[in-house]
Amino acid sequence: MTAATALPDEIAKFDALAARWWDPNGPMAPLHRMNPLRCRWVASRLAAAHGRAGTDLGGLSILDVGCGAGLASEGLARCGAQVTGLDAAGGALAVARAHAEAEGLSIGYREGRPEDLAAEGARFDAVVALEVIEHVADRAAFLAALAALLKPGGMLFLSTLNRTPRAFLLAKVGAEYLLRLLPRGTHDWRMFVTPAELGTEARRAGLRVCDIAGMVPVLGGREWRESRDVAVNYIAAARKD
Binding residues: 38, 66, 87, 130
Give dist(CA 191, CA 208) in Å, integer: 22
Q: Is 49 exposed, middle or buried, given 0-12, 13-18 or 19+ CB atoms closer than 10 A?
A: middle
Closest CA to 170 of 218, 224, 233, 236: 233
Residues of the binding site for S-adenosyl-L-methionine: 38, 66, 87, 130
Q: Which residues contact 52 (CB under 8 A, 6 or more apart)?
A: none
Q: What is the DSSP letter of 130?
A: E
Q: 127 pairs with which residues across the strands?
A: 63, 156
C-alpha torsion 195→77→116→132, nearest 10? 30
Q: Are 58 and 121 in contact (CB under 8 A)?
A: no
Give dist(CA 7, CA 4) in Å, integer: 8
The runs of H, that is alpha helices, within the chain are 8-15, 29-49, 71-77, 90-103, 114-119, 139-148, 165-167, 195-204
Strand order in the sheet with 108-111: 108-111, 82-87, 61-65, 124-130, 150-161, 233-240, 207-218, 223-227
Q: Are 158 and 236 in contact (CB under 8 A)?
A: yes
